[in-house]
Amino acid sequence: IPGVLQRFGFCYLIVGLIQVVFASRDLPSVSPSQANLPFWWSFRDVKICILQWVVMLGILLIHASLTFLLPVPGCPTGYLGPGGAQENYIYANCTGGSASYIDAQIFGLKHMYTHPSSMRIYDSKVPFDPEGFLGSLSSAFLVFLGVQCGYTLLTFSEWQPRIRRWLLWGFVLGVIAGGLCGFSKEEGVVPLNKNLWSLSFSLALGSFAFILLSVM
């Protein structure tokens, strides 16, 4: 049942509903004569959507709580590994941890992806969906970062303040992502993981997106 297009739809549904409920109808732009106002003024594009930020950070809190605190039968709490042959098959049926467990409860094992990469690499035997429910929550946050990017376009009319803000977003998100994964490939509190769409992975993508947009 889950899939790439389904995830697109789900993420846009979440962010779209939040915008419909909380978006301000008043979006005053900053003219060139206002571009050199004090530094705190530069965050007005964030202040405009502060309610959306509160809701999205709440969604991230739910994602983190389910990922690291949800008890999964037969598996260590907070397990993020591929199961199968990892660590001599100790957690053979724990592929994806709580993400896989939640999908099994929502969709059922027969409606999940039956040929994940973990099956080929780690000889795992259980289905795992890389576009499942839990990862869609952190994906929705990435979509919301795009909304924040749009608010910068609507708020500032000149290209220089837009570029400065996007580069600042890229730097801040990159530092947070690096801190979560310990600036490493597979370590840290929240390792980079595309299959799980971990928070560090989502923030790293957001960082690259802001920087690439600035370059373009």
Distance CA 171, CA 96 (A): 29
- CB burial string 86-123: b at 16+ within 10 A, e below: beeeebbebbbbbbbbbbbeebeeeebbeebebbeebe
pLDDT in the model for residue 91: 95
The strand pairing partners of 156, in sequence order, are: 30
pLDDT in the model for residue 26: 74
SS in 3 state form for 189-203? Answer: CCCCCCCCCCHHHHH
Letter for the amino acid at 47? K
pLDDT in the model for residue 24: 81
pTM, full prediction = 0.91
pLDDT in the model for residue 27: 67
pLDDT in the model for residue 35: 54
Find out whether 197 and 139 touch, Cβ atoms under 8 Å.
yes
Find out whether 78 and 54 touch, Cβ atoms under 8 Å.
no
Tokens 């779209």 — which residue? 16
Q: What is the pLDDT along the chain (216 residues), one digit of tens a residue?
A: 999 999 999 999 999 999 999 998 776 566 655 555 555 566 888 988 999 999 999 999 999 999 999 999 999 999 999 999 999 999 999 999 999 999 999 999 999 999 999 899 999 999 999 999 999 999 999 999 999 999 999 888 889 989 999 999 999 999 999 999 999 988 999 999 999 999 999 999 999 999 999 999
